[in-house]
Structure 1
Amino acid sequence: MRRVGLVLSAIALLLSASAASAQSEKPGVEKLYIMNCGEGVAGDIGRWSPGVNEGQSMDFVDTCYLIKHTKGWFLWDTGIPDAVAAMPNGLTPADPKAVTWKRPKTLASQLEQIGVKPADVKAMGISHTHPDHIGNVEMFPQAMLYVQKAEYDWPGANNEPRFKPSHPVELLSGDKDVFGDGSLTILSTPGHTPGHQSLLVKLPKTGAVLLSGDAVHFKSNWENRRVPVNNFNKDQTVASMQKIADTLDKEKAQLWINHDKALRDSQKMSPEFYE
């Protein structure tokens, strides 16, 4: 009998270990790291909030997000080019009302700090193709790039393509469940640019967070539904804000606004992470 009891105990332990292993292998997002991808000063934020704050300066931040999914690493936005870190006066715009950007930490050094090599990043997405969001795309030449077709086809300066033709890309025409398990969903939110997109991330402990891209630039603009003067399409922008609001309600999600310094200053930065 004692032998039978030992056998049954061993079987129970095996089943328990198997269940724990299955639980740990459950598909989904495991961690999210917030990366410092630039810091700057906007000369006149009236361009982002027409009729309000005219002539006022504001500190901006630029944020990238590295996400650990059970199927691999996913990077959202790539920020200001790492090369700007070597520029003592930062990246100065031709228009003094725009943002002067600096790069206090490179993306490469922040990845290295947590033991991630650029080659480890298997997939990536960009909210849109403005320079402060695509500055380091080619640090990851092997990563599948998710971008809306409307954005990919939008001519760049001098009608040049916005990405190297050799970069692997999946062109989207709407929302995309990246890994097929609902934990990471790209949301089509056009308006700021023709193919702007945002990202819904479902974390096991933190819950759902929605990464805005530039669908909105700072909290007061979100609260008042203000549309920047330079946006591609005002009606699309307003509709995308409503889509974000509806998603926040449905998913009980937090809105993380990319450029909002007050928000970012309240968050855990890499090498800390959210689960």
Structure 2
Amino acid sequence: MRFASGLSAALLSLVVARAEDSKSGVEKLYILNCGEGVAVDVSLWSPGVDEGKSKDFVDNCYLIKHTQGWFLWDTGIPDEVATMPNGLAPADPKAVTWKRPKTLASELAQIGVAPADIKAMAVSHTHPDHIGNVEMFPNAMLYVQKAEYQWPGADNKPRFKPYHPVTLLEGDHDMFGDGRVMMLSTPGHTPGHQSLLVRLPRTGEVVLSGDAVHFKSNWDNRRVPAINDNKEQTLASMEKLAETVSREEAQLWINHDKDRRDIQHMAPEFYD
């Protein structure tokens, strides 16, 4: 009788644990329009290929609803660019002139999320088209690779406000401790670049590239852009992503690739 009672209790605990597990994890992933632009000379991203040709770029941010809270990945072009009729011109005339058709603030409001609701955020890296709205969330914990955080910015200035709460990472990181949102260290494009693996209950596994790769033809041919910190690390990070995609049978969502985004559901629609 005692054995049977103990076995029943164990089975009950297992059922409860599985029920709780089924309620945990990622619930939704939203793709936010965080910028659109045109590069005058795409060969900056594919040296020796398509020299002098223009190319449309997009810039995505991703909002993840996890049972433990809202998590924002990248913040895109600054919202104030939405007020600039001619967009934000680059320092290099061959690079991307960015426009902001929608503000991040308005897209969040459309979903019903206030900036204060977001308690955790991360950036793939610290180029301006990815960190433009970080200070819209002054109290959100920022997860960034230590090598990226310590990388000096323009005029040797810090890349973030010194008072912004931050968690410095050194390698891969399990964001919620359940394996559902994994930050992957993919240096090369910048010293502390990172990508993101998201496990969705229905859609399956998705890898968000950041700028480890910029568009599909570069991915297919393993091309490294001229705007880059370390070529060897970039190639190694591409291989790490390829192994992850293969092992997880994941989709690779390339951040700046307009052809990919044209077939995706944008917020307020979502993936689950």
Q: TM-score range by the shorter chain?
A: over 0.9
Tell me the equivalent position of 2:78. 81
1:144 lines up with 2:116 in the alignment? no
Q: Distance in 2 between matches of 1:185 and 1:238?
A: 20
Q: Pairwise CA RMSD of aligned residues?
A: 1.6
- 2:51 is the alignment partner of 1:71: no
The answer to whether residue 255 in structure 2 is matched with residue 258 in structure 1 is yes
Paired letter, 2:28: K
In 1, the alpha carbon distance for the partners of 2:21 and 2:252 equals 28
Which of 188, 193, 208 is equivalent to 1:191? 188
Q: Does 1:46 align with 2:43?
A: yes
Cα distance in 2 between the residues matched to 1:230 and 1:107 = 26
Q: What is the CA–CA distance in structure 1 between the aligned matches of 2:113 and 2:22, rounded to whole Å?
A: 20
Q: SS where residue 150 of structure 1 aligns?
A: helix
Inter-CA distance 143–25: structure 2 relative to 1 (3 Å threshold): farther
Is 2:151 the partner of 1:154? yes
- 2:109 is paired with a residue of what secondary structure? helix
Shift of 1:94: 2.3
Which residue does the alignment assign to 1:236?
A: 233
Amino acid at match of 1:252: E
Deviations 1:238-262 (A, max 9, x none): 0000000000011110000000001
| Alpha-carbon shift at residue 26 of structure 1 (Å) | 2.4
Aligned match of 1:11: none
Pick the structure with greater CA Rg: 1
**For 2:215 and 2:22, how far apart are their aligned partners in 1?**
37
TM-score by length of 2: 0.93
Cα separation, 2, equivalents of 1:44 and 1:268: 29
- Distance in 2 (CA, whole Å) between partners of 1:169 and 1:253 is 29
8 Å CA contact 1:148–1:173 kept in 2: the answer is yes
How far residue 23 of structure 1 moved from its aligned partner, in angstroms, is 4.9
- Measure, in 1, the Cα distance between the counterparts of 2:141 and 2:260: 30
2:5 aligns with: none
Residue type of the partner of 1:41?
A: V
CA distance in 2, matches of 1:68, 1:272: 13
Are residues 1:98 and 2:128 paired? no
Corresponding pairs, count: 259
Q: Which residue of 2 aligns with 1:29?
A: 26
| CA drift at 1:27 | 1.7
SS at match of 2:206: strand
The alpha carbon displacement at 1:229 in A equals: 1.2
3-state SS of the aligned residue for 2:119? strand
Q: Give the Å deviation of 1:95.
A: 1.4
- Three-state SS of the structure 1 residue aligned to 2:236 is helix
Give per-residue Cα distances to partners, 1:201-256, cap 9 Å, x unaligned.
Answer: 00000000000000000000000000001210000000000000000011110000
Identity of paired residues, percent?
A: 76
- Alpha-carbon distance in 1 for matches of 2:82, 2:60: 15
User: Which residue identity lines up with residue 168 of structure 2 in the other structure?
Assistant: L
Q: Tell me what 1:219 maps to.
A: 216
Q: Give the SS at the match of 1:216.
A: coil
Aligned AA for 1:225? Answer: R
Task: Give the TM-score, by structure 1 length.
Answer: 0.92
Structure 1 position 58 matched with structure 2 position 60: no
Q: Give SS of 2:130's match.
A: helix
Question: What is the CA–CA distance in structure 2 between the aligned matches of 1:240 and 1:56, rounded to whole Å?
Answer: 27
| Cα deviation, residue 25, structure 1 | 6.4
Q: 5+ unaligned residues in a row in structure 1: which ranges? A: 1-14
Query: Are the equivalent residues in 2 in contact too, given 1:148–1:197 (CA < 8 A)?
Result: yes
